[in-house]
Amino acid sequence: MLILECPCCGVTGEETEFAGGGEAHLKRFGPGSSDDEFHTYLFAKENPKGVHFERWRHANGCGKWFLAARNTMTLEVYGTYSAQTYEPPQDIKDKISAKVPGWSWREFS
Amino acid sequence: MSTRLATGGRLVNKARAMEFTFNGKRLRGFEGDTLASALLANDQMLVGRSFKYHRPRGIVASGAEEPNALVNMGREETFEPNQRATTTELFDGLRATSQNHFPSLEFDVGAINSKLARFLPAGFYYKMFIHPRPLWKHVYEPFIRKSAGLGKAPRDRDQDKYEHLYAFYDVVVIGGGIAGLLAAKAAGEAGVKVLLMEQTAHWGGRALVDTGTVNQMPVDKFVDETVSTLADMPNVTMRLRMMGAGVYDHGYLLGYERVSDHSPSKNTPRHRLWRIRAKQIVTATGAIERPLSFAGNDIPGVMLASAVRDYVANYGVSIGDRTVVVTNNDDAYQTAIAMKNAGLDVPLIVDARANGGGALAQEARDMGIRVENGKGISKVKGGKRVTGVAICSQAGEGMPLEEVACDVVAMSGGWSPVVHLWSHCGGKLIWDEAQAMFRPDPEKAPTGAQGEGFVSVAGSANGAMDLADIVSDAVSAGRAAAKETGGKPKTTKAPEASSPKMAAMEPIWLMPQGANIKLRSKSWLDYQNDVKVSDVQLAAREGFESVEHAKRYTTLGMATDQGKLSNINGLAILSDALNQPIPQTGTTTFRPPYTPISMAAIAGEARGPIFQPLRRTPMHDWHEENGAYWEPVGQWRRPYCFRKTPGEDIETAVKREINQTRSSLGLLDASTLGKLIVKGPDAGKFLDMLYTNMMSTLKPGRCRYGLMCNENGFLTDDGVVARIDEDTFLCHTTTGGADSIHAHMEDWLQCEWWDWKVYVANVTEQYAQVAVVGPNARKTLEKLTKDDLSAEAIPFMAWQDIQFGDINARVYRISFSGELSYEIAVPASQGRAFWDQLLEAGAEFGVMPYGTEALHVMRAEKGFIMIGDETDGTVIPQDLGLDWAISKKKEDYLGKRAQTRSHMSDSNRWKLVGLETVDGSVLPDGAYCTAEGTNENGQRNVQGRVTSTYYSPTLDRGIAMGLIKHGPDRMGEVLEFPKTDGTVIKAKIVNPVFYDSEGEKQNV
Q: List all residues of chain B from 409 to 468 with a beta carbon under 8 Å from chain A.
A: 425-426, 447-451
At residue B744, the 3 state secondary structure works out as helix
B673 with B762: CB under 8 angstroms? Answer: no
* Nearest-neighbour CA in chain B from A22: distance (Å): 12
* Partner-chain contact B249 A1, CB within 8 Å: yes
* Partner-chain contact B451 A99, CB within 8 Å: yes
* Partner-chain contact A77 B746, CB within 8 Å: no
Q: What's the pLDDT at B559?
A: 86
* Partner-chain contact A1 B248, CB within 8 Å: yes
* Partner-chain contact A74 B447, CB within 8 Å: yes
pLDDT at residue B54 is higher than 90? no
Nearest beta carbon to residue B897 from set A2, A15, A30: A30
Q: What's the pLDDT at B612?
A: 87
Does some domain include residue A58?
A: yes
Residues in chain A with CB shorter than 8 Å from the CB of B451 are 71, 74, 76, 99
Does some domain include residue A70?
A: yes
Label residue B155 by pLDDT band (50, 70, 90): confident
B686 with B758: CB under 8 angstroms? Answer: yes
- Chain A residue nearest residue B742, CA to CA: A63
Question: What letter does residue B290 receive in the DSSP assignment?
Answer: P
Nearest beta carbon to residue B249 from set A2, A21, A38: A2
Domain containing residue A78: CATH number: 3.30.2270.10
Does some domain include residue A34?
A: yes
* Partner-chain contact B252 A35, CB within 8 Å: no
* Partner-chain contact B449 A65, CB within 8 Å: no
Helices (H), B66-216: 112-115, 124-128, 133-135, 141-147, 178-189
Does some domain include residue A52?
A: yes
Does some domain include residue A108?
A: no
Min mean pLDDT across B316-320, B394-398, B534-538, B1000-1004 is at B1000-1004
pLDDT at residue B610 is higher than 80? yes
Nearest beta carbon to residue B711 from set A42, A59, A77: A42
Closest CA to B587 of B550, B554, B533, B539: B550
Q: What's the pLDDT at B125?
A: 67
Report the C-alpha dihedral over residues B13, B17, B21, B26, rounded to 10 degrees. 140
* Nearest-neighbour CA in chain B from A106: distance (Å): 18
* Nearest-neighbour CA in chain A from B943: distance (Å): 28
Does some domain include residue A104?
A: no
Does some domain include residue A18?
A: yes
Label residue B145 by pLDDT band (50, 70, 90): low
* Partner-chain contact B449 A76, CB within 8 Å: yes
Question: What letter does residue B445 receive in the DSSP assignment?
Answer: -
Helix axes B567-578, B547-554, angle to 10 degrees: 110
Could you tell me what percent of chain B has a pLDDT over 70?
97
Does some domain include residue A90?
A: yes
Label residue B115 by pLDDT band (50, 70, 90): low
At residue B540, φ and ψ (nearest 5 deg) are -65, -40
Tell me how far apart the alpha carbons of residues B595 and B399 are, in angstroms, rounded to a whole number: 40
* Nearest-neighbour CA in chain B from A76: distance (Å): 4
Range B611-615 average pLDDT: 90
pLDDT at residue B345 is higher than 90? yes
- ipTM surpassing 0.90: yes
pLDDT at residue B264 is higher than 90? no
Q: List all residues of chain B from 347 to 366 with a beta carbon under 8 Å from chain A.
A: none
Range B287-292 average pLDDT: 97
The residues, ordered by sequence, that sit 6+ positions from B758 with a Cβ below 8 Å of its Cβ are B678, B679, B680, B681, B682, B683, B686, B749
- Chain centroid to CA B386: how far? 40
Nearest beta carbon to residue B451 from set A15, A64, A76: A76
The model's pLDDT over B957-987, given as tens digits with 9 standing for 90+, comes to 999 999 999 999 999 999 999 999 999 999 9
Nearest beta carbon to residue A83 from set B425, B751, B901: B751
Q: Which residue has the higher pLDDT, B118 or B975?
A: B975
Closest CA to B478 of B283, B250, B247: B283
Helix axes B305-315, B333-341, angle to 10 degrees: 30
* Nearest-neighbour CA in chain B from A100: distance (Å): 11
The model's pLDDT over B175-192, given as tens digits with 9 standing for 90+, comes to 999 999 999 999 999 999
- Chain B residue nearest residue A67, CA to CA: B751
Q: What's the pLDDT at B147?
A: 62
> Containing domain of residue A86, as a range?
3-99
* Partner-chain contact B277 A35, CB within 8 Å: no
Helices (H), B168-254: 178-189, 219-231
Q: Looking at B936-1003, which runs of residues are DSSP E strands?
A: 940-952, 957-965, 974-978, 984-990
Tell me how far apart the alpha carbons of residues B530 and B124 are, in angstroms, rounded to a whole number: 13
Mean pLDDT of chain B: 94
Distances (CA, A) of B276 to A85, B127, B173, B457, B947: 35, 46, 12, 18, 47
Residues in chain B with CB shorter than 8 Å from the CB of A33 are 897
Residues in chain B with CB shorter than 8 Å from the CB of A2 are 249-250, 449
pTM of the model: 0.91
pLDDT at residue B112 is higher than 70? no
B718 with B865: CB under 8 angstroms? Answer: yes
Q: List all residues of chain B from 180 to 219 with a beta carbon under 8 Å from chain A.
A: none
- Chain A residue nearest residue B247, CA to CA: A1
- Chain A residue nearest residue B250, CA to CA: A2
* Partner-chain contact A57 B747, CB within 8 Å: yes
* Nearest-neighbour CA in chain A from B444: distance (Å): 10
Residues comprising chain B, all counted: 1004
B474 with B178: CB under 8 angstroms? Answer: yes
Q: How many domains does chain A have?
A: 1
Residues in chain B with CB shorter than 8 Å from the CB of A74 are 447, 451
* Partner-chain contact A76 B746, CB within 8 Å: no
The model's pLDDT over A25-80, given as tens digits with 9 standing for 90+, comes to 999 999 999 999 999 999 999 999 999 999 999 999 999 999 999 999 999 999 99
Range B144-149 average pLDDT: 62
Q: What's the pLDDT at B868?
A: 94
* Nearest-neighbour CA in chain A from B167: distance (Å): 13
- Chain A residue nearest residue B445, CA to CA: A74
* Nearest-neighbour CA in chain A from B368: distance (Å): 57
Q: Which residue has the higher pLDDT, B274 or B263?
A: B274
Q: What's the pLDDT at B514?
A: 95
